[in-house]
């Protein structure tokens, strides 16, 4: 009897251990369409064979797979045999459920099989396989004492949207080729397939145009300043302008090739007619405004008034100047030859029109073309630009301001000022990419302003996870997909770049790949925490702000300050102090709104899970909480 009880206990223990392990190893981001778990594992053999189709599109995939598997310490070799431990197979007849990027992944005790219609599907199947393996698969060198096994599972997976993007602003601060390659690598790991490169702005022109060399010899360089962008003092005219850089055309070709090998397309953006100071400094006759030959590439000093925008210096190309259209024809000719992606982004956002209003050239244009408003002037410009872009065999896409004054006939709209622009464009029959500030602006702070690098708004992970690219009442056939945007005014280096992207990009990836009905915040939050170990092994910096307390302030019936604390994720305890000492898990636990003790000046809080510190300590001045009672909305 004792033996039976012991045997039963052993079985239950094994089942419990498996359930624990299975919950962890099946932590896949983005969540697959269908996933059925089996019982048991496929253990990687000491001689590990890999069968991948020997075609050009999968050459890099093969090299990456061999590199990944090398950390297992196994003898890894390619094989054409049908008995290889890991087999990737292109379907001989189309599997209609999968489309061009879908895959089926089957892990049995005899081996692993990934099938797909196209090479991209095989690539994405492998990316899922790496997440099923022990996390040490992401280590930089061979890992010891790891049981290399994969849980038995059947997965059918394909994307909800074809456009799964991430925008990288390389203009405000320049990031080199290696930085962009790393950016592409991490995008592809989570099945994002569109890199939007913001290549030009007031702070720098970052792509070589051979016919217009001053765009990079002059326009790519400014003065280095550190601090809060937009608040720097005026830059002396004689200060050396040595900060910046640009991509040569060979660099661009190499990046395009690098991205294509990982099934990522690159969308180039040349932001016009606003945000064009770097171009105007290089070629002042593109401006409507006399004296533009005295301008300098912006280095972070104040040159715009917000809201508005109202320009203190004219950073717009002149729609009434024929030289502008000749210039853009030259630019887009070379851009189109460098980027095979069928779209070119032409910006169109935040165009200050106060200098246009004073321009005789603009007044003459308005009279000649019967234009009534400055928005119609910009619409005139956008329609002419669309013809130039289409003459290069490309489609025009722009920010939602291009709707104002009348939309160019075939333009695609990228909706960033919330979702209204996207809704309007879709109802007009135009294609739309959803990219609203409300959910996917990754330059926003991830936690409380008191502890984060300061920007003007906060966007927490759980809010990003609410992103839904198809608004209610909109025909989904007009929604190409969605993307997140990382503007880099306040991002000075690669480590901070990573901190701003992760983990919010994980939320974006799941929102644009996974079926809407498969999303679950609690499960996703657990997967994010599991993925932190992967990012650690890859030496990627990320924010842990989902563990930080959230502060809400109000007043009780006696007009005393009342502080309510919460967290984005469950299972945490919040410990606090008012006595200026640093709290740990022996300090009081928050369990109801706090009244501030008389004369207290500081509330310090920190979160734990059991004995483990989860968030960072936040020191919140009571004066700041008092200020928040009366601050304007969104004033962080």
Residues annotated catalytic, as ranges:
201, 275, 350
What sign does the dihedral 606-612-614-615 (CA atoms) show? Answer: positive
232's tokens: 């720097």
Cα 62 from Cα 50, distance rounded (Å) = 9
Per DSSP, the residues of 526-556 read HHHHHHHHHHHHTT-----GGGS-EEEEEE-
- 225 close to 300: Cβ distance less than 8 angstroms: yes
- 264 close to 192: Cβ distance less than 8 angstroms: yes
The 3-class secondary structure across 163-178, one letter per residue, is EEEEEEECCCCCCCHH
Residue owning tokens 């936040």:
618
Cα 417 from Cα 429, distance rounded (Å) = 19
SS3 454: coil
Cα 437 from Cα 307, distance rounded (Å) = 16
Distances (CA, A) of 454 to 88, 443, 444, 446, 448: 47, 10, 8, 10, 9
Class of residue 262 by CB neighbours under 10 A (exposed 0-12, middle 13-18, buried 19+): buried
Q: How far apart are the first and last CA of the chain?
A: 67
User: 619 — phi, psi (to 5°)?
Assistant: -100, 110
Name which of 270, 292, 291, 290 is nearest 280 in CA terms: 292
Neighbours of 569 (CB within 10 A): 19
Strand-pairing partners, residue 205, are 200
């Amino acid at each position: 009897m004792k033996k039976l009880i012991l045997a039963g206990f052993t079985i239950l223990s094994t089942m419990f251990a498996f359930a624990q392990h299975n919950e962890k190893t099946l932590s896949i981001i983005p969540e697959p369409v269908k996933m059925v778990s089996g019982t048991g594992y496929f253990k990687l053999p000491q001689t590990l064979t890999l069968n991948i189709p020997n075609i050009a599109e999968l050459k890099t995939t093969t090299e990456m797979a061999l590199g990944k598997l090398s950390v297992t310490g196994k003898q890894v070799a390619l094989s054409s045999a049908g008995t290889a431990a890991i087999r990737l197979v292109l379907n001989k007849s189309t599997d209609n459920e999968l489309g061009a990027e879908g895959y089926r992944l089957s892990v049995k005790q005899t081996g692993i099989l990934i099938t797909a219609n196209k090479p991209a599907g095989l690539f994405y199947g492998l990316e899922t396989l790496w997440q099923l393996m022990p996390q040490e698969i992401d280590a930089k060198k061979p890992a010891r004492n790891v049981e290399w096994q994969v849980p038995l599972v059947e997965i059918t997976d394909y994307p909800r949207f074809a456009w799964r993007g991430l925008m990288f602003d390389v203009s405000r601060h320049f990031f080199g080729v290696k930085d962009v390659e790393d950016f592409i690598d991490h995008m592809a790991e989570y099945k994002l397939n569109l890199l939007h490169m913001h290549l030009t702005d007031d702070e720098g022109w970052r792509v070589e145009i051979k016919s217009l060399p001053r765009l990079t010899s002059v326009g790519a360089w400014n003065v280095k300043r550190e601090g809060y962008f937009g608040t720097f003092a005026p830059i002396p005219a004689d200060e050396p302008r040595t900060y910046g850089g640009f991509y040569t055309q060979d660099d661009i070709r190499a990046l395009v090739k690098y991205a294509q090998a990982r099934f990522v397309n690159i969308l180039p953006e040349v932001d016009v007619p606003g945000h064009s100071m770097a171009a105007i400094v290089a070629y002042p006759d593109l401006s409507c405004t006399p004296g533009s030959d005295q301008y300098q590439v912006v280095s972070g000093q104040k040159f715009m008034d917000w809201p508005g925008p109202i320009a203190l210096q004219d950073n717009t190309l002149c729609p009434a100047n024929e030289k502008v259209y000749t210039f853009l024809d030259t630019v887009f000719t070379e851009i189109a030859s460098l980027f095979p992606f069928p779209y070119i982004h032409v910006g169109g956002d935040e165009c200050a029109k106060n200098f246009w209003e004073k321009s005789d050239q603009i007044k003459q244009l308005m009279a000649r073309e019967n234009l009534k408003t400055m928005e119609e002037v910009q619409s005139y410009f956008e329609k002419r630009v669309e013809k130039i872009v289409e003459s290069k065999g490309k489609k025009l896409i722009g920010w939602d301001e291009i709707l104002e004054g009348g939309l160019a006939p075939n333009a695609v709209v990228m909706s960033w000022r919330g979702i209204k622009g996207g809704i309007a464009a879709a109802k007009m029959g135009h294609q739309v990419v959803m990219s609203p500030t409300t959910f996917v602006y990754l330059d926003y702070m991830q936690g409380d302003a008191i502890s984060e690098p300061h920007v003007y708004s906060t966007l927490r992970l759980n809010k990003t996870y609410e992103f839904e690219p198809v608004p209610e009442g909109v025909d989904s056939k007009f929604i190409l997909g969605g993307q997140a945007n990382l503007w880099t005014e306040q991002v000075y280096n690669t480590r901070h770049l990573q901190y701003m992207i992760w983990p919010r990009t994980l939320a974006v990836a799941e929102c644009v790949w996974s079926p809407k009905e498969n999303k679950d915040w609690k499960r996703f939050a657990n997967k994010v925490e599991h993925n932190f170990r992967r990012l650690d092994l890859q030496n990627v910096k990320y924010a842990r702000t989902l563990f930080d307390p959230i502060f809400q302030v109000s007043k009780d019936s006696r007009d005393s300050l009342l502080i309510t604390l919460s967290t984005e994720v469950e299972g945490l305890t919040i410990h606090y102090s008012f006595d200026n000492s640093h709290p740990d898990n022996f300090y009081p636990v928050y369990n109801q709104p706090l009244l501030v003790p008389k004369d207290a000046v500081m509330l310090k809080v920190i979160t734990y899970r059991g004995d483990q510190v989860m968030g960072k300590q936040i020191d919140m001045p009571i004066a700041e909480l008092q200020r928040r009672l009366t601050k304007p909305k969104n004033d962080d």
